[in-house]
């Protein structure tokens, strides 16, 4: 097991926090988290991979311990993470994407396909059939960005909703450590954090608009692809995982009997799947 270090780096004036482990000459693996969490979600996974890979997991801009940018869009997040990879020397790497990490990582892939050695998607969607009805309140804000629709989404930033995201679809909720969702709630109370998340809810439509572009990338470049999917996710449905095989015939899709935050209950199983997949 390789020890984890906790670092900060300046990325064009923004401080980004990141976790790092593994030998610098080992194959590189970038871990990208989602809403409303941070690189802390990878606390169990990193030690299971660091003997074989050089692993880096940043907190996305506006999340966790990273600075909040002036613009809160998925394009700006991808811009910052792209520069981050260059600064930390990740010139060619596999990328693990989850939730918001998926449209971030897929943007990196379509911009620089030569840098991506493989993609692991844990409930990271790129197909309309993967979107559940749970997106309807957010979709309403995409279509009509009114103050009423924006304020209606504040219910998604409460501790009750955070816990529901962690526990929904999990057979035994006592397996879920309170550390994860409690830390997420703490970060959501940072000054300006609510507006960051509300801005990104509104901008999520830009990700859906890019789905055809992502899919064209999959067909054209056929990246090595592994899906490790919580089958009971209330936001990203299993058909979204199966759809990757339509554009990447060699894609591997593994389902686990858990919810959105699959690493909370299945970190060991997912690590084993990654080790086997990347070889």
The residues that are catalytic are: 260
CA distance 193 to 230: 27
How far apart (Å, rounded) are the C-alpha atoms in residues 38 and 257? 23
SS3 per-residue string spanning 84-107: HHHHCCCCCEEEEEECCHHHHHHH
| Alpha-carbon distance values, 204 to 127, 139, 157, 268 (Å) | 13, 9, 16, 31
Distance, CA of 127 to CA of 219 (rounded, Å): 14
**Rg of the chain, C-alpha, whole Å:** 17
Would you call 260 helix, strand, or coil by DSSP? Answer: coil
SS3 62: coil
Q: Is the separation of the CB atoms in 118 and 226 below 8 Å?
A: yes
- Residue of 12, 121, 3, 2 lying closest to 66 (CA atoms): 12
Cα 191 to the chain's mean position, in Å?
Answer: 23
Can you tell me the distance from the alpha carbon of 158 to that of 234, in angstroms, rounded to the nearest whole number? 17
């Amino acid at each position: 097991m390789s020890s984890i270090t906790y670092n900060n780096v300046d990325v064009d004036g923004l401080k980004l926090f990141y976790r790092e482990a593994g030998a610098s000459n080992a194959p590189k693996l970038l871990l990208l988290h989602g809403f409303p969490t941070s690189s802390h979600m990878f606390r169990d996974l990193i030690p299971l991979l660091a003997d074989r890979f050089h692993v880096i997991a940043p907190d996305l801009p506006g999340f966790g311990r990273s600075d909040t940018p002036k613009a809160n869009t998925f394009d700006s997040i991808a811009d910052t993470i792209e520069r981050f990879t260059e600064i930390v020397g990740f010139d060619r790497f596999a990328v693990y994407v989850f939730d918001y990490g998926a449209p971030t990582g897929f943007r990196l892939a379509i911009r620089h396909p030569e840098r991506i050695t493989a993609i692991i998607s844990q409930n990271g969607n790129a197909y309309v059939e993967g979107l559940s009805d749970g997106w309807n309140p957010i979709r309403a804000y995409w279509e009509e960005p009114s103050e009423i629709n924006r304020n209606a989404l504040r219910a998604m930033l409460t501790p009750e909703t955070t816990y529901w995201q962690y526990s929904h679809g999990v057979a035994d909720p006592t397996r879920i450590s309170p550390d994860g969702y409690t830390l997420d709630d703490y970060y959501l109370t940072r000054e300006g954090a609510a507006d960051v998340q509300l801005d990104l809810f509104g901008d999520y439509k830009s990700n859906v608009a890019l789905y055809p572009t992502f899919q064209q990338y999959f067909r054209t470049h056929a990246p090595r692809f592994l899906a490790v999917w919580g089958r009971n996710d209330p936001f990203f449905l299993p058909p979204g995982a199966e759809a990757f095989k339509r554009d990447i015939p060699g894609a591997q899709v593994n389902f686990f009997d858990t919810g959105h935050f699959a690493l909370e209950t299945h970190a060991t199983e997912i690590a084993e799947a990654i080790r086997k997949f990347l070889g």
